[in-house]
Amino acid sequence: MSPGMLHFVQLVVTGLVIGSVYSLVALGFVLIYKATSVLNFAQGEFVLVGAYICLDLIMRFQISFVWAFFLTMVFSVILGLLVERLTLRPLIGEPIITVIMVTIGLATVLKSIVTLFWGTQIKVFPPIFPQKPLNYQGIVVSQVYLWTLGFALLFMAIFALFFKYSRAGIAMRATAADQQASQSMGISVKKIFAISWCISAVVSAVGGILIGNINGINITLADFGLKVFPAVILGGLDSIVGAIIGGLTIGILENLMGGYLDIYFGGGVKEVAPFVVLVVILMIKPYGLFGTAEIERV
């Protein structure tokens, strides 16, 4: 392969891996939006909290990674429940801006709690996956990346099956489609709301742990959560398939734009490119690739 081509493929592969984590977090985001019509601006903080809890369990309590992972999941479930019960449930029926603002307030609170406990220094996960990079025809991929991609895809598959076949998953889809109808069929909508927040917190925590293994974690990991916005807008706010494809696309796109445009704009294109894409999508196709267009009848 020519060097230019190699560079391109390398960028795509890296983007794909980061994108798979975006997809995972975006999945959590869309889940909450679908079930409860809440835009969760604290999604990034779920990522942050999950990653720090897992790291702390490993480093301070010397628990093996597998157990730390499971305990983090348990913790995330509790976090999701608490958040839903304490802040979102009192606001059911309030205007959109109130609900958006409360998640922003929540983000601030979670972020400052993390800072109080763990500081702002960057922390590195102990190596969990094998370190030796793989070399395939000149494309170098470290094994962490492959594991991340694998895990992200695994979790997405698990949740896809969950929504398709499990009782709770079907109930969640029903609630998303029509709250009143599902309530009259005996589905407890409140319970569904709580489950949505739990699952969302869990997938975000998984995303946080995966990305922490690649880059290490510090407080800016919360900004990661903001990157799900371009992903979900591209895919359509209320589409789970859209979230997954949107996440992957944004990951690849930002990496390519960063790789090729950084020299012209003095660095950091990666951080802003997804948002430029976002604005463009909103202007030409506001409901994304797979979102339901809202049709208003008077």
How many residues are recorded in the chain? 298
Rounded (5°) CA angle 101-52-65: 140
x-marked contacts with other proteins along 107-146 as a string, rule CB under 8 A: xxx-xxx-xx------------------------------
Residue 292 interacts with other proteins (CB under 8 A): yes or no: no
Selected from 70, 105, 127, 190, the binder of other proteins by CB under 8 A is 105
| Cβ 240 to other proteins shortest distance, Å | 18
Q: Which residue(s) pair with 217 in the sheet?
A: 123
Query: Looking at 72-80, 154-162, 178-186, 224-232, which segment touches other proteins (CB under 8 A)?
Result: 224-232
**What would the two tokens of residue 209 be?**
């742990």
Residue 295 interacts with other proteins (CB under 8 A): yes or no: no
Q: From 196, 231, 208, 79, select the one nearest 152 (Cα to Cα).
A: 208
Q: Count of CB atoms within 10 A of residue 90's CB?
A: 10
Using CB under 8 A, which residues numbered 67 to 96 contact other proteins?
87, 90-91, 94, 96
| Cβ 129 to other proteins shortest distance, Å | 32
Contact between residue 30 and residue 243 where contact means Cβ atoms under 8 Å apart: yes
SS3 content of the chain, % helix, strand, coil (to 5): 75, 5, 20
Q: Count of CB atoms within 10 A of residue 266's CB?
A: 7
Query: Looking at 99-107, 126-134, 158-166, 197-205, which segment touches other proteins (CB under 8 A)?
Result: 99-107
60-84: buried (b, 16+ CB within 10 Å) or exposed (e) per residue?
A: eeebebeebbeebbebbbebbeebb
Looking at the Cβ atoms of 129 and 229, the one nearer to other proteins is 229
Q: From 48, 101, 51, select the one nearest 223 (Cα to Cα).
A: 48
How many residues make contact with other proteins (CB under 8 A)? 43
**What would the two tokens of residue 174 be?**
């029903």
x-marked contacts with other proteins along 23-62 as a string, rule CB under 8 A: ----------------x-----------------------
For residues 236 and 239, give the distance between their C-alpha atoms in angstroms, rounded to a whole number: 6
Selected from 16, 141, 226, 289, the binder of other proteins by CB under 8 A is 226
For residues 283 and 95, give the distance between their C-alpha atoms in angstroms, rounded to a whole number: 25
Query: Looking at 121-129, 175-183, 190-198, 271-279, which segment touches other proteins (CB under 8 A)?
Result: 271-279
DSSP 89: G
| Cβ 157 to other proteins shortest distance, Å | 28
Contact between residue 156 and residue 244 where contact means Cβ atoms under 8 Å apart: yes
Residue 6 interacts with other proteins (CB under 8 A): yes or no: no
| Cβ 42 to other proteins shortest distance, Å | 10
Residue 100 interacts with other proteins (CB under 8 A): yes or no: yes
Q: Which residues bind other proteins (CB under 8 A)?
A: 39, 87, 90-91, 94, 96-98, 100-102, 104-109, 111-113, 115-116, 226, 229-230, 233, 237, 265-268, 271-272, 275-276, 278-279, 282-283, 286, 294, 296, 298
